[in-house]
Amino acid sequence: MKCKKIIFVTLIAISFLSCKGRKLNYIDYYHKVYTIDSAQRVGKDTLATIRQYKKLFRKYPPVQNERLEDYETYIRYSDQFHKKFGRIKGLDKLIAQSAPNWKYKREDKEFFKLYKKYEIDSMAVEQKVLQWKRGLNKTLIDSFSIAFERDQQNNRVGPEVVINDRKNAELLIWTFKNYGFPSRQKIGLYGNNERLMHMGTLLNHMAGTEHYEFFKTKLLEYVKSGECPPRDYIEMVDKYQYIHHLEPVYGIFSHYDTNFNAADSARIDRNRKAVGFPGLKQSSKMVKDFQRKNK
């Protein structure tokens, strides 16, 4: 009996360690976010939405979609309906999600009102953002500030383009090896001298380099880990398809003489789903809602 008990406890321990060691797949996370968002649009059941988001964020650290703002939506709904969301800890997580685009987010008066309700004034919020910025990787910020300036040299016209793209490809490969993916939580969105560092732009230009196949494989790993946004990945892949006059994989880039039929749309939606990106119709709705919200 004692032996059986020991075996049972051991199995539980092994199971627990196995679960803890299992890597989260953020493709599943994105699917759940889109499902929750769609259900909210149709059913308007906000309490159900709060419960679903709460369950999701218990499993996954939030990776806020810039168009859905899923974590902020969860916080705002929870506050509105007096549901628990972690209070200060939850609000600190929201700052980390909002800080990369703080240049514009700080204009959102409702954002500060939310924090004020929990006795965090605007000065304290600004201080928390500064603290977040201090935690960024200065080495990478310096390197990518140069890379993004180099990327746009001479408006990407002339023989330097190939040389500059090669240098930036080498920087990305070195960064992956030494620091992992240069996400916004590592380098922010604005570099030295307020240089905009939208990683999707740089990755897009990797489609024309000799390292494309490496990036295609490696970036998918970072999509799964939640570090690389699916959109940045699919734009690079479709850019490669466009350059080589191949059919679009994700429906982002296509030549003017390309016509999509129902079969093409179904294929594209399947491909998008495989990497955690919404289908054509849902994506279109999200863009329209985002544009309407930010008029």
pLDDT reported for residue 254: 77
pLDDT reported for residue 41: 86
pLDDT reported for residue 65: 78
Tokens 């700052």 found at: 95
Q: Amino acid letter at 182?
A: P
- pLDDT tens digits for the chain (295 residues)? 444 444 444 434 433 443 445 689 999 999 999 999 999 988 889 999 999 999 999 999 999 777 789 999 999 999 999 999 999 999 999 999 999 999 999 999 999 999 999 999 999 999 999 999 999 999 999 999 999 999 999 999 999 999 999 999 999 999 999 999 999 999 999 999 999 999 999 999 999 999 999 999 999 999 999 999 999 999 999 999 999 999 999 999 877 667 778 899 999 999 999 999 999 998 888 888 877 777 6
pLDDT reported for residue 23: 86
What pTM does this model have? 0.89
pLDDT reported for residue 261: 83
